[in-house]
Amino acid sequence: MQCHSSEELEGLVEEARQLTVDGHVADYIPALAHANQDKLSVALYYPDGRCYSAGDTEENFTLQSISKVLTLALALMDRGEEYVFDHVGQEPTGDPFNSIAKLETNKPSKPLNPMINAGALAITHMIIGDTVEDRLERLLNFIRKLSGNPSINYNQIIAQSELKTGHLNRSLCYFMKQHGVIDEPVEDLMDLYTKQCAIEMNCLDLARIGCVLAMDGADPVSGEQIIPRDFARIAKTFMVTCGMYNASGEFAIKVGIPAKSGVAGGIMGSLPRTCGIGICGPSLDDKGNSIAGIRLLEMMSKKYSLSMF
């Protein structure tokens, strides 16, 4: 059964919203601590252009780790599959997203996958362009195209806040530089990565991006192949195996939708050949995923039989 109205979603949002009191907004990036804990929004975008939404849909949020799926797609387009996976692995990890542990124990040193911070930094390093500004502009234009929203940009305050405080990510970069995974100045990579993570949008933009991935990389309106089919498939597969960090297994069982979360509370869902989903709820559970967002997806999956398994 498909969703037929925004009113239907409104009821689910209000029920899931009750969970927001049990979580916490992220504060390790100081500027994220100002987020409103009780906000929750959802949008569902179908390939025929229908879009239903509910909750605080006008709220903008930063992509944070959701951006990792999009940089992966761009890096694959820039460098090809062989190059990308020569430098970054394809295996899930049971570790937290910012863990440095496996970088040291893995020989040769190579981040386990593109969804943990180390792997994402190595992927951002691959984006082609002469300067950080050129590379950021290429990424922004790519995301503007995917979302169909030409005004998408990044939030300077949140990017600055992470650049100032992201010393764990810096240390991942230095470790990888020592081991030849990256070879650019660490501050340049940090600059680009923090701006990438601070790219801002609302849940409707995010649902449309999810829909492009769901449609194997093709724009649902124009039909243009924005991402080659194979690369959209790779991106969705990583969403299943590593998209919700060390909660990916449980999420696959309970929800069954390829999804990627971020610490600002966003979740992008991409159900193959069916629809894209955009959610934002800044209150997070102990693994860093939107606590009400996950509950909402569980309810939607059940009600609309969305699990792909």
Annotated binding-site residue numbers: 65, 117, 162, 169, 193, 245, 263
What residue ranges in 143-291 does DSSP mark as E strands?
A: 153-154, 199-201, 259-261, 266-271, 275-280
CB of 215 or CB of 284, closer to ligand DON? 284
Residue 113 found at the interface with ligand DON (CB under 6 A): no
* Cα–Cα distance, 263 to 169 (Å, whole number): 15
Q: Is 193 a catalytic residue?
A: yes
* Distance in Å, CB of 165 to ligand DON, minimum: 10
Q: Is 181 a catalytic residue?
A: no
Q: Is 154 a catalytic residue?
A: no
CA 3 vs CA 212, 275, 306: distances in Å: 19, 10, 10
Q: Is 145 a catalytic residue?
A: no
Q: Is 245 a catalytic residue?
A: yes
Contact 141, 150 (CB under 8 A): no
Q: Would you call 259 helix, strand, or coil by DSSP?
A: strand
Residue 263 found at the interface with ligand DON (CB under 6 A): yes
Stretch that binds ligand DON, among 145-153, 181-189, 261-269, 293-301 (CB under 6 A): 261-269
* Cα–Cα distance, 19 to 229 (Å, whole number): 37
Counting beta carbons within 10 angstroms of the beta carbon of residue 175, is it exposed (0 to 12), middle (13 to 18) or buried (19 or more)? middle
Tokens of 36: 């409103």
Question: Among residues 39, 41, 53, 65, which one is catalytic?
Answer: 65
* Single residue of 162, 205, 219, 285 touching ligand DON by CB under 6 A: 162
Stretch that binds ligand DON, among 105-113, 215-223, 258-266, 270-278 (CB under 6 A): 258-266
CB of 9 or CB of 75, closer to ligand DON? 75
Residue 280 found at the interface with ligand DON (CB under 6 A): no
* Distance in Å, CB of 49 to ligand DON, minimum: 30
Residue 154 found at the interface with ligand DON (CB under 6 A): no
* Cα–Cα distance, 128 to 297 (Å, whole number): 35
Contact 40, 16 (CB under 8 A): yes
- By annotation, the residues acting in catalysis are 65, 68, 193, 245, 263
Residues near ligand DON (CB under 6 A): 64-65, 97-98, 117, 162, 169, 197, 245, 261-263, 288
